[in-house]
Amino acid sequence: MHGCNETHDAQLSSWVHSANEADCDFPIQNLPFGVFRSTVGNEVFRVGVAIGDQILDLFQVARQGVFAGEVQAALETCSEHSLNQLMSLGQPVWSALRLALSRALRSGSPLESKLSDCLVPQAESEYALPAEIGDYTDFYTSIHHATNVGKLFRPDNPLLPNYKWLPIGYHGRASSVVVSGQDVIRPKGQTLAPAAQTPQLTPCKRLDIELELGVFIGTGNARGTSIPLALAEDHVFGLCLLNDWSARDLQAWEYQPLGPFLSKSFATTISPWVVTTEALAPYRVALERPQSDPALIPYLDSLQNNTLGAFDLELEVLIQTQQMREAKLPPEKLIQTNYRHAYWTVAQMVAHHTVNGCNLQSGDLFGTGTLSGPTLDQAGALLEITQGGKSPITLANGQVRTFLEDGDEVTLRGWCQHGSGPRIGFGTCIGRVLPSIAAGA
């Protein structure tokens, strides 16, 4: 874990004036990385950094030749269509590049005249996945989500015996991870209707959201080795928003004995911008773990992780139905919660994932699992909010939802902020539900 430095100074301002606006997600204290291209002309995807309402094109910055050494070497990886090569360079290089960009983008920087031509408006850009994702692992780090879901099936014993001992996870499908803005087609799969003896192949009727964060691995480890907890975050490049769409009716029929399969593998949406863990340093908080809970096995336990392993990161989910769009009504907030309520930290996920010798690689993606808070109004999935569909919610325009309907558009947002200080935002993670495709189409 790395502490604060000059890049976190709340008084810093940028010569990119939109970055200085109070409600901006991307002030100079943030500088998240992503992969983009301009919609003007026939361009290739390349690496950029968000600053205000602009993108600093790092490929063009490299061509300016105003930097040297490891910073210039890092910039020269930014002509790639993914962040993988930059991620593989390691934390000291990421930090040096971030510091150099911070200094270059500050008000009064002598590099303004050279770098201003490297800006591309976000409104005139489109995005690709930030990285080529070799593997995707989804965890279950919110004890409140685990408890809420467990109560639906095991009211007297909602948590399984292993929950407080290890970060539970399963291996997901990397090929169906998509970037924000791509539509989500309602999946089909086997379901077993109540009182039925034979399952049927049908479109999902209980389509759900899962409010999560994504964790991108920067540098990996050799197969047969493990990453200790104290060094785990040195291997993490940054975080993004993640919506792990879930077909609850398919899941109910298929999950025993091996867990989710088709109910999860059809789509996972992530935001385009990856906020570095260094940018989040001022928002570290203590892990919320009751002292009465069992003492962890040492590889998952440390004073540093307990006191600074969590993040004070606000999260929200909004919905806009087809009817709302036609009536020109804005999206309506469904959920607001905070990542600080997670039971397991980013470092613990990395340490546990590798303790058996599993080798991580640059660009691997973790999902935190649904991030629910301690009260039901902070639940991160419709399954919890509606109590398994038994308590539908009524939107402001009178429409009722238990699960998602075709045409519903879901937006995830996230940010860190202390008082009137800079807002370290994650942008948006958006997906719209389309009808299921007919068989054979």
* Active-site residue list: 145
- Distance between CA atoms of 441 and 430, rounded to whole angstroms? 25
Check residue 206 and report its DSSP letter.
Answer: S
Cβ distance 263 to 255 under 8 Å?
yes
Structure tokens at 79: 């002509």
- Distance between CA atoms of 56 and 104, rounded to whole angstroms? 11
Angle at CA 142, nearest 5°, toward 139 and 148? Answer: 115
Cis peptide before 257 (omega within 30 of 0): yes
Check residue 355 and report its DSSP letter.
Answer: T
Angle at CA 239, nearest 5°, toward 14 and 1? Answer: 85
- Distance between CA atoms of 332 and 362, rounded to whole angstroms? 37
- Distance between CA atoms of 178 and 272, rounded to whole angstroms? 9
Number of H helices and E strands in the chain, helices first, is 11, 26
The span from the first CA to the last CA of the chain, in angstroms, equals 49
- Distance between CA atoms of 215 and 368, rounded to whole angstroms? 8
